[in-house]
């Protein structure tokens, strides 16, 4: 995909309805299941936070599921990702287990980070998940390094770095983009443009409409996709990943998407930085509703089959939360564990 | 200097070989690259040009562009490249040219490299080596002359080494590359051309282990980096006056081998800490505090610190000379300590 090929109108939220070409039924089902897993993981985590059960911060991904699912269905297990402070969706879609994730949110020793990392540092090296990251933009050069390692070792895995619109204003993003381009590394840059850097709308922090324009400055091709359409994201990601795997260098995907909850937590709007109407309008294009309507309409799945995915996932989540709640807390005697490697 | 006693015994070498600090570094790096295929070097002007201080001379010829990579002037992406590559099993050596430039990539060093193993629950290590040139003395002024070891030593997860001569430049570099943690190797610019006896074979100097560079009974001088040489010179001056000072070279400032220091204090009862960095908030304060915590009862005088004044490094040679501690100030400090009963 050498040229910009937009499947979305330039201005969010007036994105076009999903008109992306067909993909195979197993891919649709895979996309759907990964999105349901993210949605339920997140909404249950939100409830736990509201109930005062979780320490720390919780940046929910709900609304953006099509991006994580669309990209991760284009990847292999040995492909690496770096994520953001809003990283649960990427972790779930990359295959990190619910038990390890909930346990980490609870600060238990059974967590993905042994209770040392929390929500913003969930990782799983066996799944190619190089970590959520509390520093905006910091994962970008790290993904470049992971891609460098793959090529150095003669492997054909690729690295994907996820970032928001706001991260493209930070130096590390630009340095990482240029470094990947100049070294011709297999990196896919995925911008989840949800329109807000924390509480500040895109119009207040950059004078361009499409973040994808920034890729051109580094000689990197880019594509803009409807970030509520998992199929469109999957197709764009597949092309970008295959391109990178062939040794043709980095590429950027800008997915226009939206977060349904607040920047942090479920509510807590001290001032209305976005209107109820805007949120409601985006919710009419809920990415899971869209793929379910599509799956039923084209005969990929029956409603009962889709409902079964929800129920199975609910059961798995209930079990994982119970596991986390009954898991031991870390021992303060082990406070210095892993400060250094042996 | 007593460094040669630590070299591996090589019966067939008739005479000790002297090598410059920068060549010793270069030799250690090349040997570490031969030892481990996963070691590569990335940095600004390191490959084609061989590094602005000739640290990387001839390495491109031997190792080629796959393992010697010239990067854009992008310190954040450079260190990030190292972090990501290290997390995926390589042993990157990334060069920051002048230590002052760490300000533009401190996030990748402090928030990423140093913490990754800990905050990820131990599932990976970051065997990253960062090489850089520190110190004043070349008239390079305020943005190219600093000694910022205290910034880095304050960060859990990082290791910081300060070679004081050619022998330690090679051995500490080899150990840094072999270590499974992020290690910053602070090479001193003024020492680059200085020579000492350096074994030809590859050797590592254990990280976190101080070295007693000179034995003495009257005052313990704990000196960092280039100050080790100044302290040894001061020792000669004092010896003529009948004063024997013990000089301790921590070699690694994080983790810091305080046990060697405590043992020395128990023998001498007087301590001077000297570093090139600004005194305020410097490692001298930490060392003094730890000594007072543990061996206070052995002290015959308060721990004395000598460092730079609270000022950026000046340009004019006359000012720069006044700024950096030297053998005369160290000798004077020792005399002051001995005047206290």
B88:A135 CB<8 A? no
A117/B121 Cα distance (integer angstroms): 7
B264/B252 Cα distance (integer angstroms): 17
Confidence of residue A267 (pLDDT cuts 50, 70, 90): confident
pLDDT at A62 over 70: yes
- Phi-psi group of B323: left, alpha or beta (phi > 0 → left; psi -120 to 50 → alpha; rest → beta): alpha
The DSSP code sequence of B166-229 is HHHHHHHHHHHHHSSS-EEEEEEGGGTT-EEE--SS-----TT--EEEE--SSEEEEE-TTHHH
pLDDT digits (tens, 9 = 90+) for B112-170: 999 999 999 998 999 999 999 999 999 999 999 999 999 999 999 999 999 999 999 99
Confidence of residue A6 (pLDDT cuts 50, 70, 90): very low
pLDDT of residue A13: 43
Confidence of residue A1 (pLDDT cuts 50, 70, 90): very low
pLDDT of residue A20: 55
Confidence of residue B235 (pLDDT cuts 50, 70, 90): very high
Angle between the N-to-C axes of helices A25-50 and A65-72, in degrees from 0 to 180, rounded to the nearest 10: 140
Q: What percent of chain A has pLDDT over 70?
A: 93
A159/A155 Cα distance (integer angstroms): 12
Confidence of residue A330 (pLDDT cuts 50, 70, 90): very high
Least Cα distance to A216 among A251, A247, A184, A267 occurs for A251
Mean pLDDT of A84-99: 98
Concerning whether B75 is annotated as a catalytic residue, the answer is yes
**B111 in A contact zone (CB under 8 Å):** yes
B76:A113 CB<8 A? no
pLDDT of residue A8: 41
**A15 in B contact zone (CB under 8 Å):** no
pLDDT digits (tens, 9 = 90+) for A307-316: 999 999 999 9
pLDDT of residue A22: 75
pLDDT of residue A265: 87
A83/A319 Cα distance (integer angstroms): 26
* Other C-beta atoms lying within 10 Å of the C-beta of residue A308: 12
Confidence of residue A17 (pLDDT cuts 50, 70, 90): very low
pTM for the full model? 0.93
A44/A36 Cα distance (integer angstroms): 12
State the DSSP code for A126: G
pLDDT digits (tens, 9 = 90+) for B57-113: 999 999 999 999 999 999 999 999 999 999 999 999 999 999 999 999 999 999 999
pLDDT of residue A342: 84
pLDDT of residue A266: 84
pLDDT digits (tens, 9 = 90+) for B265-300: 999 999 999 999 999 999 999 999 999 999 999 999
Nearest-by-CA chain A residue for B155: A339
pLDDT of residue B341: 60
B254/B183 Cα distance (integer angstroms): 9
Residues of chain A contacting B90 with CB distance shorter than 8 Å: 148-149, 152-153
- Here the ipTM equals 0.91
Q: Which of B83, B88, B125 is opposite residue A341, by nearest beta carbon? A: B125
A66/A53 Cα distance (integer angstroms): 28
A138:B117 CB<8 A? no
Confidence of residue B11 (pLDDT cuts 50, 70, 90): low
**3-state secondary structure at position A264:** coil
């Amino acid at each position: 995909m050498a040229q910009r090929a937009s499947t979305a109108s330039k201005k969010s939220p007036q994105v076009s309805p999903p008109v992306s070409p067909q993909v195979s039924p197993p891919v649709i089902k895979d996309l759907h299941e990964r999105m349901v897993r993210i949605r339920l993981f997140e909404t249950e985590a939100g409830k736990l936070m509201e109930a005062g059960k979780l320490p720390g911060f919780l940046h929910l991904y709900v609304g953006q599921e099509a991006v994580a699912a669309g990209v991760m269905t284009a990847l292999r297990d040995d492909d690496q990702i770096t994520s953001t402070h809003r990283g649960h969706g990427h972790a779930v879609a990359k295959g990190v287990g619910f038990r390890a994730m909930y346990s980490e949110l609870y600060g238990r020793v059974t967590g993905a980070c042994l209770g040392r990392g929390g929500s913003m540092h969930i990782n799983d090296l066996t799944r190619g998940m190089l970590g959520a990251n509390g520093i905006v933009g910091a994962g970008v050069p790290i993904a470049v390094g992971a891609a460098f390692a793959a090529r150095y070792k003669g492997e054909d895995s690729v690295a994907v770095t996820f970032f928001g619109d706001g991260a493209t204003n930070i130096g590390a993003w630009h340095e990482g983009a240029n470094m990947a381009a100049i070294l011709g590394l297999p990196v896919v840059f995925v911008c989840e443009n949800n329109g807000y850097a924390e509480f500040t709308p895109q119009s207040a922090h950059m004078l361009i409409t499409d973040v994808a324009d920034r890729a051109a400055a580094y000689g990197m091709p880019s594509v803009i996709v409807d970030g509520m359409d998992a199929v469109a994201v999957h197709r764009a990601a597949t092309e970008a990943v295959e391109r990178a795997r062939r040794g043709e260098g980095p590429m950027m995907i800008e997915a226009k998407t939206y977060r349904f909850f607040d920047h942090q937590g479920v509510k807590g709007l001290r001032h209305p930085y976005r209107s109820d109407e805007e949120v409601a309008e985006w919710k009419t294009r809920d990415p899971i509703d869209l793929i379910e309507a599509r799956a039923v309409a084209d005969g990929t799945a029956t409603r009962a089959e889709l409902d079964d995915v929800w129920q199975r996932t609910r059961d798995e989540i209930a079990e994982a939360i119970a596991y986390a709640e009954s898991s031991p807390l870390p021992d303060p005697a082990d406070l210095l564990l892993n400060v250094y490697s042996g | 200097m007593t460094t040669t006693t630590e070299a591996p015994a090589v019966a067939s070498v008739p005479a000790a070989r002297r090598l410059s600090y920068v060549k010793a570094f270069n030799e250690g790096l090349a040997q570490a690259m031969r030892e481990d295929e996963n070691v590569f070097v990335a940095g600004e002007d390191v490959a084609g040009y061989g590094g602005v201080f000739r640290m990387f001379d001839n390495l491109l010829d031997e190792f080629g562009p796959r393992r010697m990579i010239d990067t854009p002037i992008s310190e954040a992406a450079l260190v990030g490249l190292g972090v990501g590559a290290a997390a995926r099993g390589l042993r990157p050596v990334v060069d920051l040219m002048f230590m002052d430039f760490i300000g533009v990539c401190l996030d990748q060093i402090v928030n990423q490299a140093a913490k990754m193993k800990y905050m990820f629950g131990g599932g990976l290590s970051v065997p990253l080596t960062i090489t850089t040139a520190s110190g004043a003395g070349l008239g390079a002024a305020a943005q190219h002359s600093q000694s910022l070891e205290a910034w880095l030593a304050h960060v859990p997860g990082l290791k910081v080494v300060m070679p004081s001569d050619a022998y330690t430049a090679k051995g500490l570099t080899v150990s840094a590359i072999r270590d499974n943690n992020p290690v910053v190797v602070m090479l001193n610019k003024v020492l680059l051309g200085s020579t000492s006896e350096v074994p030809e074979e590859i050797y590592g100097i254990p990280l976190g282990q101080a070295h007693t560079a000179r034995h003495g009974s009257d005052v313990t001088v704990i000196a960092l980096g280039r100050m080790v040489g100044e302290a040894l010179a001061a020792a000669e001056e004092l010896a003529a006056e009948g004063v024997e000072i013990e000089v301790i070279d921590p070699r690694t400032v994080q983790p810091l081998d305080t046990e060697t220091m405590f043992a020395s204090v128990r023998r001498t009862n007087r301590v001077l800490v000297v570093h090139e960095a600004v005194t305020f908030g410097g490692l001298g304060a930490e060392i003094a505090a730890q000594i007072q915590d543990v061996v206070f009862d052995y002290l015959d005088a308060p721990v004395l610190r000598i460092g730079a004044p609270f000022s950026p490094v000046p340009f004019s040679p006359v000012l720069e000379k006044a700024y950096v501690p030297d053998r005369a100030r160290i000798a004077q400090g020792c005399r002051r300590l001995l005047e206290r009963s």
